[in-house]
Structure 1
Amino acid sequence: MNESILQYWNRAKQFWASYTKTQKMTLLATVLLLAVSIPWLIYYFSKTEYALAFTDLQPNDAAGITKYLDSSKIPYILSPDGKEISVPRSQVADVKINVVSQGLNKNGSIGYESLKDSPFGSTDNEWGVKKLSMVQGELQQMLNSFEPVAGSKVMITMPEKSVFVTPGKEAEQSSAAVVLQIKPGYELDQQKIDTMYSLVSKSIKNLPVDNITISEQNGELLPYSKSNGAATASTLAASQFQIKKQLEQDIQKNVSRILGGILGPGKVIPMVTASINFDKKHSTRQTYSPVIDQKGIERSVQEIQKSYSSDGGTTGGTPGTGQTDVPNYPGASSSGKSTSEEVQNIINYEVNQLNEEIDSNPFVINDLTISVGVEPPEKTNSASLTPDTTDAIKQLLANVISSTLANNGKTYTDEDLLKKVTVFNHAFAGPANTDVPNPTNWYLLGGIGLAALALAGAGGFFLSRRRRSAEEENDLPASSAIEYPTVDLESVTNDNQVRKQLETLAKKKPEEFVNLLRTWLVDE
């Protein structure tokens, strides 16, 4: 046994001594790299990869989820602030489903699911408090379902019920206060805020929108867009600014698309500035017009005829004494037979009556200017953008302005429209080198690099060894090529020794063994 070990040790020493110093250094470096990189790669690819499963957790929710994970023997990582929990990536979906099915993630609120834990024998006051708490919890869960909302707190004040009925007294109204915790980087638009007001108002009996207050965690009030039927000043200003911004962006996109298709992509940079009037106007107008031939339709006709006839008689009063007679007043006399007739026609005509209530447009574009930066076809030669092309661009932009300002009630000449257009001819500056390398797992790249370096070193080592062997073979004299090895048969005492020598020669020097066989065949 010791002789075998010694034999292998001698062979190893001979093997090591056969290499140069450079080859020895390369071999040692390769072995060292493999010894370091292979265990590290095995560790990296076999370790558990965690993925974020829950974020923005309330303390009671985090406690319930971690308790479930411990009981299920699922490994997890809890963030230092206790608001985030990570689980193995392969189990994220299963954990989320199980947590939701068990009602563990309630965002710090308890809704109607607490009814199953409600004991019997509660008093009316206790039940009223629990019911109000459950309603508040349901509202919190509903508000937390909005994407920008990380959490919420709802406080509802309900009017107390009275056993007495007071005739003519209006029912007392409820009120609600809501505090929202907005996620970092998110912002609630006015439409979502109005939706929250409506949801809270419809969820509570006798709760008008005016009795609801919603604010965010920093104390900033989030007002309803139509308080008492009129938009608040801040909401109105934000809405008007958004309309102006959207109009400018739409025109800018259209100009960029049109000119970009003509001059080429990246050759045009437009800038649009609009002036908008948001004054509202309401007017009422009544118009009457005939139906046919400047006449209306006869709706009703009324004809009245009156006739009188008399055969004569006295006129005046009873004669007086003469002293009381009025001078020049006719006295009693006989006038004979008399007749009279009166005809009256009343015709009601129906005419067209048009009642118009006109509300002006929500806004009117008072003015619009467009400035365009154009890169010439040859960047270093601004003259390559011909004046004809520049004039065509200006005319195209003037047409855009004309169609946009068509409803503001003003008339513009071509010269006025061209004054609102600016075309700047200049080569564009190259984009700044702001490329930020993507976050990469440098450990993985380092391990792969070490493994590649080790493989390259091993390949170089064996390649140099083959080259060295080839050089040694080339250095042999030409006569050695025809010298064939022989086996000393005379010094061999038995067949076993001959067989062992032949096996050794075949294993160590197969080419010489073949040449030996050829020699024997030729001799025979």
Structure 2
Amino acid sequence: MKEDGNLGAGGFSGSAVERQLQIRRAFERELENRVQAMLTRVLGPNKAVAMVTAELDFSQQQTNTTEVTAGPLVSERSIKESGSDGSGGGIAGSTAQMPGQSIPGQVAGENSYQKSDDTRNYQNSTRVGTVVQAPGRVVRISTSVVVDDAVKGLDENQVQRIVSAAIGFDQQRGDQITVASMPFDRGQYDLGDQTTAQAQQDKKQLYLMAAAAAGGLLLLGLIIFLVRRRRRQKLQAQTEAIQGYPEAAAPPQDTAADEPAWEIPPPKDKQKQLKDLAEERPDDVASVLKVWLRE
């Protein structure tokens, strides 16, 4: 919609009639969205429905005007004439003009006259204007608003004033606004609420499944960590048993001063000890060798 109140044809395709229908419907949708957004903010969602019908004039008109304005004075002429004659006499057609007749108390006089002629010439200027009215002029707008009767304390006059401001109501143009209150069918809204609740339930189940999967992975990682730790401890114990260096128990922190100190036994012959261990525990030695070879 342009600033002059006309609608352009940009962005529409098809024949001339199709473009006109597209422009009109786009204009109606824009006004409907304005009214619907305002009613939703005031009354709440799904409380009112608005419909707009617009009548547009797509004829293109061109008006040419010519205006003549007074210009400067270019020439001026003034003629004045005055005079008198010596003829006298009475009133024409009277007996006083007949020979031998006269009117008592009237004497012969003179007739005088004056004449003037003034002429002024101006250099006038001409101004020509052309006004082109673009197609798409709004002729009339009709708006219908239906409000749910569940809305308490509805003031239809106030709703009408709100809608008038939203659509740019013009009484001289012949615009009309109708506001009515009637019960709404809530079936489609209830179905929408059920669909929304089901979607939320599905989303909740998805979150629970994701949490269970994450917990399972965490538990599996903990089990693998414990198994590997136990294997390392077992391997370390077997290695120490083969090498003959068992771990010594650490003395307690609060050992009394009069307790005897631990004595480290003297080292033995390693080769003899390995040989004796292989004879006594062949299975353990074989397991340790397999682990070494695997690494």
More strand by share: 2
TM-score by length of 1: 0.27
> Normalized against structure 2, the TM-score is what?
0.42
State the structure with more CA Rg: 2
